[in-house]
Amino acid sequence: MAHILYTLIIMATLSTSAKAVLILEKDRDLADSIRVFLEDAYPVYILEDPSKLVSHIKRYGIKLLVTDLDYSNADLRSNLLDIRSCTPGIKIILMYMFLDDENQKSHSLLKEADDYIFKPFDADVFRYKVDKLLS
């Protein structure tokens, strides 16, 4: 029993001191795939509801947010700015499928990100970007 408790304490310590990643994604299959890419090196949390974004970032000590530019959240830019103000050190990767020349809102959102990646993406390229931002 003491061994199990000690293991849980060690795991809790590692997860709070590690560089945690939060994936805000409505496509559960994509979110699970991203989790698999990263879970060997980082604690990974998945969230589908953007209204809980800030509370999750604070609760789990999130260092990297991965979210979809195509996310059906009209206030994504506002949310990203709020996140930056309450957790200045957080890094953000935006994923997207396409950007047309007329979609200025999407282009301006890319400026709020530390990096971005075009979907579908290569797992190794994605992992490189994550490792680079969290190093």
Cis omega (within 30 of 0) for bond into 88: no
Provide the pLDDT for residue 92.
Answer: 93
Q: Are residues 27 and 66 in contact, defined by beta-carbon separation less than 8 angstroms?
A: no
- What is d(CA 85, CA 121) in angstroms, rounded to the nearest whole number? 29
Is the model's pTM score more than 0.85?
no
Residue 45 pairs with which residues in a beta bridge? 22
- What is d(CA 17, CA 97) in angstroms, rounded to the nearest whole number? 33
Which run of H or of E encompasses 96? strand 91-96
Provide the pLDDT for residue 9.
Answer: 39
* Closest by CA position to 68, among listed 43, 97, 39, 90: 97
In the chain, where the domains are located: 14-134
The one-character DSSP state at 75 is T
Beta-carbon contacts of residue 19 (< 8 Å; ≥ 6 apart): 42, 63, 64, 134
Residue 94 pairs with which residues in a beta bridge? 67, 116
Backbone angles phi, psi at 116, to 5 degrees: -150, 160
Distance of alpha carbon 7 from the chain centroid: 27
Mean pLDDT by 10 residues, the chain (135 residues): 40 58 92 94 92 89 88 66 85 80 59 86 93 95
Provide the pLDDT for residue 88.
Answer: 81
SS3 66: strand
CATH topology for 14-134 is Rossmann fold (3.40.50)
